[in-house]
Amino acid sequence: MRQVIETHGIAAKKALGQNFLLDLNLTAKIARQAGDLSACDVLEVGPGPGGLTRGLLAEGARRVLAIEKDPRCIPALEEIAAAYPGRLQVILGDALEVDPLVHLTPPIRVAANLPYNVGTELLIRWLTPPAWPPFWDSLTLMFQREVAERIVAQPGGKAYGRLALLAQWRCEARIVLNLPPEAFSPPPKVSSAVVHLTALPAPRYPADPKVLEQVIAMAFNQRRKMMRAACKGLVPDLEDHLIAAGIKPTDRAETVALEQFCALARSVKAAR
């Protein structure tokens, strides 16, 4: 992979959130965390020079759609496409703007070393589609270790918040791999981790996604405040809705469990 980067002049750009994973043994290991891919199309965002792309194809992915924003990486990815005829499609574009469903056939899995600057936004989009189940069966994604810990955090801990609630409401989420900074080029200042999320057939508790997201955002926007202060202005008679949801008006946002947040979202929707 170092030779590929040198040949095509692909120096990682901080503005694009790029940190390339060059060890093909590691990229193959990450690809295996996505499970049996032989009957699946795989969406990869930010493939860069194609380390994980090679791993996904070598591990038997039926087909890979790679969306890359950096035009410098396209020739390297085209070389991989030529080595796996008909199994790799490369799109030059912004993953926040490209509709992948036009190019993919279910079942679909997502596997990516996400660019740091768009990783969280993409995850939230994938977790909050209008309808559930989503277009994907599972997400195997690399994040900064701190972000990964927030996704799998349990109630009561400092890391528990919006990402944990949205992820665990509709998915099983676990960290499956940890990677040190020196595994990347250039080495980031923090460690990384791979999170595997499996979509549940239905959410754990009923709630309107838009209302739930609004409640969660308000509750954790000012984490040091009590729930009644953090969510002030959400609906009239907020304390009545907190009590109806089983939340004491003195509870801090970070101590409230998923079931209670969903109950509050249902109560808020009913009040509107």
- For 69-117, how does the pLDDT look when each residue is reduced to its tens digit (9 = 90+)? 999 999 999 999 999 999 999 999 999 999 999 999 999 999 999 887 8
pLDDT of 186: 81
On the question of pLDDT at 17 being above 80, the answer is no
The dihedral over CA atoms of 94, 97, 98, 102, expressed in degrees to the nearest 10, equals 180
- For the entire predicted model, the pTM comes to 0.92
CA 145 – CA 143 distance, rounded (Å): 6
Q: Looking at the predicted structure, is the pLDDT value of residue 250 above 90? A: no
pLDDT of residue 232: 82
CB under 8 A, 24+ apart: contacts of 57-61? 57/84, 57/87, 57/88, 58/28, 58/31, 59/28, 59/31, 59/32, 59/34, 60/36, 61/31, 61/37, 61/87
Sequential DSSP letters for 11-23:
---GGGT--EE--
19-39 tens-digit pLDDT: 888 888 999 999 999 999 999
The predicted pLDDT at position 37 comes to: 97
Per-residue pLDDT tens digits for 173-205: 999 999 999 888 888 889 999 999 999 999 999
pLDDT at 159: 92
Specify whether the CB–CB gap between 212 and 169 falls below 8 A.
yes
Are the CB atoms for 29 and 4 separated by under 8 Å? no
Which residue did the predictor score with more confidence, 250 or 81? 81
Look at strands 108-113 and 88-92 and give their pairing.
unpaired
According to the model, what pLDDT value does residue 251 have? 85
Compute the mean pLDDT over every residue in the chain, rounded to the nearest whole number: 92
Distance CA 176, CA 190 (A): 17
Count CB-CB contacts under 10 A for residue 220.
19
CB 57 within 8 A of CB 47: no
Would you state the pLDDT for residue 106? 97
Mean pLDDT of 229-244: 87
Q: What is the pLDDT of residue 224?
A: 76
Q: Which pLDDT value is given to residue 151?
A: 98
Instruction: Choose among 65, 204, 210: nearest CA to 131.
Output: 210
pLDDT at 2 over 80: no
- Using CA atoms, how far apart are residues 216 and 234, in angstroms rounded to an integer? 11
Decide: residue 233, CB within 10 A, 0-12 exposed, 13-18 middle, 19+ buried. exposed
Residue 1's pLDDT is 75
